[in-house]
Amino acid sequence: MKYVLASGSLRRQELLHRIVDDFEILVSNFDEDSVVFNGNVEEYVINLAKGKALSTKECLQEDAIIIAGDTIVVLEDEILGKPKNEEDAYNMLKNLSGKTHRVYSGIVLINMYNNKVEEASLYTEVRISNLSDEEIRDYIITREPLDKAGAYGIQGFGGVFVEGINGCYYNVVGLPLNLLNKMLKKIKE
């Protein structure tokens, strides 16, 4: 069976190699802004992943199992995407400081061999330490926060700010391995 990851994320690619030896990468051209947030975070993150999966399916010339995912950070009912600039990153980190937030992932799999679709979401609670302005500025200088939802990477320098998590660590990195592994088994049945 051929597998296609609908993502250019190096983190997702690295994690997927722990489950699937060989896969192709086809970055989706799906317009994420076309998905409207209606207040239901689980539905929203699944719809983002579904858009990526369906967009990728349209580009394929042969059958495959498509793996698509999206991850968002939510603090007090506000979605924190990737920061637009350093000031935005600073504000996000300042808001996360000393608080617990949730990281949601939506995963959608399409098996083109048998026309099965699997979709699921989950969240992990993450507690961030109280951060000083200097810590935030020093972290932003690393440039790491600028391409991460919520302006931090638990697997990088930002990991030192994480006091604890409740849930799947790999979800916070960007691909919940346990959930994905179960979904892959189910979709091939």
Residue-wise pLDDT tens digits, 118-170: 999 999 999 999 999 999 999 999 999 998 999 999 999 999 999 999 999 99
Backbone angles phi, psi at 169, to 5 degrees: -60, -45
Report whether 71 contacts 149 (CB < 8 A).
yes
Q: List the catalytic residue out of 21, 70, 77, 138.
A: 70
All domains of the chain in start order, with CATH: 3-187 (3.90.950.10)
List, in sequence order, every residue forming a beta bridge with 73; answer none if it has no partner. 80, 103
The pLDDT value given to residue 16: 96
Average pLDDT over residues 37-47: 94
The pLDDT value given to residue 54: 95
Tokens of 81: 């995407």
- pLDDT of 189 > 90? The answer is no
Quick: pLDDT tens for 57-78: 999 989 999 999 999 999 998 9
The reply to whether 70 belongs to the active site is yes
In angstroms, the Cα distances linking 46 to 42, 50, 139 are 6, 6, 31
The pTM of this model reads 0.92
Beta-strand pair 65-75/162-166:
unpaired
Residue closest to 67 by CA, chosen among 14, 143, 4, 152: 4
The pLDDT value given to residue 9: 87
- pLDDT of 188 > 90? The answer is no
Task: Name, in order, each residue with C-beta under 8 angstroms of 56's C-beta and a sequence gap of 6 or more.
Answer: 4, 6, 26, 28, 66, 68
The pLDDT value given to residue 162: 97
Average pLDDT, the chain: 95
Buried/exposed 10-41: b ≥16 CB within 10 Å, e otherwise = ebbeebbeeeeeebeebebebeeeebeeeeeb
